[in-house]
Amino acid sequence: MVGLIFLVIVLILAVIILMSSIKIVPQAHAYVVERLGAYQQTWSVGLHVKIPFIDTVAKRVVLKEQVVDFAPQPVITKDNVTMRIDTVVFFQITDPKLFAYGVENPIMAIENLTATTLRNIIGEMELDQTLTSREVINTKMRASLDIATDPWGIKVNRVELKNIIPPAAIQDAMEKQMKAERERREAILRAEGEKKSTILVAEGQKESAILEAEAEKQSAILRAEAEKEKMIREAEGEAEAILKVQKATADGIRMIREAGADDAVLKIKSLEAFEKAADGQATKIIIPSEIQGLAGLAASAKEIFK
């Protein structure tokens, strides 16, 4: 009976030992295995079996990208301004063996390395340059940390300056400077607005004067054209009246000639035509020589016809 109980106990212990020797490594993890205290191998994802009491899992390593937020560190700029800067480091373990045996406390090592690197970079820059060169500082720190942590099996993917906290006096001076800058910009904008308004008013007045002058010009042109048209029509009327008179005279002479009147009568009618043409308005009338000798005859005939 005692032997049976002992056998059962041995079987149970064997099962426990066998179960403890089977290890399953999850995704994005790695196990560093030692045999009798010396590095043996690194287990990747999957099922693994170790030798009981001889092999041990010395380090469980997470291969995913990790983020550490370090507390603000005091730094001094090139122009002797003390400020506090806190950083965020994104890193990833690329070699579990180096990570396990490279440095005692990797996170503390990265924090101290970040602080010293930040002091070195900021010490070469002035305050204004520090406040406006975050990207430059981030790039320099990432390059320096990546080189320094490579022997530890760590790759630094990104470094970000989370906060830059200058002294209270500097913050107050910066706020006053920003306020003055805003007031200056406001004054400039107001002056530019007034300038544009004045220019627009002047341009409006100029356009108005141009339009008025153009309107007066068009009105003068229209008046001149109307006056010209009136004079043309009056001249045409006078010419038409003269033509009608001449036509009537010609018709009368033709009728007299057709009635058998002699040359003397025709010449007298011509003198009457000259008299009507003059109509008392002309100061001088030129009479052809051939009918000048008939002036007396015309006067006598006129007396007879009366």
> What phi and psi values does residue 118 have, to the nearest 5 degrees?
-65, -40
User: What is the number of residues in the chain?
Assistant: 306
* pLDDT tens per residue, range 139-186: 999 999 999 999 999 999 999 998 888 888 877 777 787 788 888 888
pLDDT (mean) for 111-134:
89
0.85 cut: is pTM over it?
no
CA 138, distance to chain mean position in Å, is 30
* pLDDT tens per residue, range 42-63: 999 989 988 888 889 999 999 9
CATH of region 66-166:
3.30.479.30
User: How far apart are the C-alpha atoms of 97 and 109, rounded to whole Å?
Assistant: 17
Domain boundaries, the chain: 20-62, 66-166, 188-256, 262-278+286-306
Q: Is residue 271 a contact partner of residue 263, using CB atoms and an 8 Å limit?
A: no
| Percent with pLDDT over 90 in the chain | 29
What's the pLDDT at 297? Answer: 45
pLDDT (mean) for 92-107:
91
| DSSP per position, 222-253 | HHHHHHHHHHHHHHHHHHHHHHHHHHHHHHHH
